[in-house]
Structures are given as C-alpha cells and as structure tokens.
Amino acid sequence: MADTPSLPVFDSDDESAGRVDGRVRWRRFALLTVPAVAVTAGLGIALAQGALAASFAVSGQQFKVSATSLEGEGFAQYGSVDVNARQELIPVAVTAIKEAKLHSLCQSVVTTLPVIGDISLNLTAGQKAPVEASNLFVDATQLAGDAEFTNIEIGRDASTLDKSPAEAQGMQDLFAQQADKVSISNLQQTAWATNAGTFKLSGLSMNISKGKKECF
C-alpha cells in the first residue's frame, strides 16, 4: 500500500493555512511594514504643515556662503527640517527674503574623494553689480554677521508669517521672527539648501581646485 503524501505544516502563528503564500508570514510582515508606513505618513503630514523646508532631497554635504553685505525686503526666519535621500530629517533654520541683494558673494563646497583627496568648488559673483534674488530661501545651520532689522517682530507664531514670501510658513505654535527689512554686513553662513524664484548672478565665476579652499 502506497504511503499517504504528507500535508504541508504551517507555523502556529499563521492565521490560516490558506494565508501562507511563498512561505511569507503575513502577521510578521505587517509588523515590519508598519514603521516604514508610519515614517512615510509622518513625512507627508510634516510636508503639508510646512515642517519640511527644501522641496528636494538635500545632499550629504553642507556648503558655505559669504557676502560683504546683504540687503533684503520682506524677511522671515523660522525652524524647520530638510530631508535627505535616506529619508533622514535634518534640523535647519530657514531664512526667507522676498527681495535680496548681495555684494561680493562667495559660495564653496569641499568634496573628499578616494585617492585624490579634497576637491573644492568655489563660486563668486556680485563684485561690481550685486547679486539679485527674489523669493529667496536658505536652509542654514549657522549664520553670522552684523545685522540691522526694520520693524522686527520676534516670537511670532511661525504659521502666521506675512511679511516674507507667501511660501514662508512654519508649523503652528513654533517660534519665528520677521521684519520689513534686513541688512547684514560681513555675512557668513553654512547651509544645506538654497531655493529662489529668480537668482541673478552678475560677474559669475566658478572654479574647481585641489585642496580645501572655503569662503571662510
């Protein structure tokens, strides 16, 4: 008499035999996917509430910007976060200006490559006519200089800003400040991202060189 073929045995934590396909344990699969779904949903909510700053995934490198002077109309500053390609959140201070003029602008970023070592990319502009930008957003982690503000409001709710670009809105209940005008001399800042509606760079010059050569 031929042996009766044995039936497949399923783990006791499977809800039913018919729910096991390709040896996937659906209960465990769901438990593993919940955190990823929660992170994605959280990013979506944060984006809708204005908690995410740059509209693109930022790189893994910060860059430095300096200028002998900056004059701006319609200024706001508030806390926010950028996100990189790994979906990691990076805290930043967003500076938003409706119309800005920068004199003697310098921008630099240093990349370290295997074998070659440090490579510096330097951009300069505005030595004669100023650099002009509209709806300028800078997501920075450091800013220094000598600043003067006109009609400044400090401690305003970040969701109620109305002097800067319309898109400059932070999360409700968070700290922000805004002013009709801002003037900064000897500007130095380190940033993850810059956005602008228009960006006019007079006398633009770009240079790539070996070694570490930064704006400051």
Give pLDDT tens digits for 84-128: 999 999 999 999 999 999 999 999 999 999 999 999 999 999 999
What pLDDT was estimated at residue 54?
82
Which pair of structure tokens corresponds to residue 196?
């602008």
**Cα separation of the two ends of the chain:** 89
pLDDT attached to residue 33? 44
pLDDT score recorded for residue 43:
52
Distance of alpha carbon 122 from alpha carbon 142, whole angstroms: 19
In the prediction, which pLDDT does 188 show? 98
DSSP state of 88: -
C-beta of residue 206 within 8 angstroms of C-beta of residue 123: yes
Q: How far apart, in Å, are the Cα atoms of 86 and each of 11, 59, 60, 108, 113? A: 35, 10, 10, 24, 21
- Whole-number pLDDT of residue 46: 52
Residues of the chain with pLDDT under 50: 2, 4-22, 24, 26, 29-30, 32-40, 48-49
Strand-pairing partners, residue 82, are 90
pLDDT of 96 reads 98
Nearest to 152 by CA among 167, 163, 139: 163
Q: Partners of 146 in the beta sheet? A: 185
Residue 88 CA to chain centroid, in angstroms?
11
What confidence score (pLDDT) does residue 30 get?
46
CA distance 129 to 26: 65
The rounded distance, in Å, linking the Cα atoms of 167 and 151 is 21
Q: In which element (H, E) is residue 44 found?
A: helix 26-48
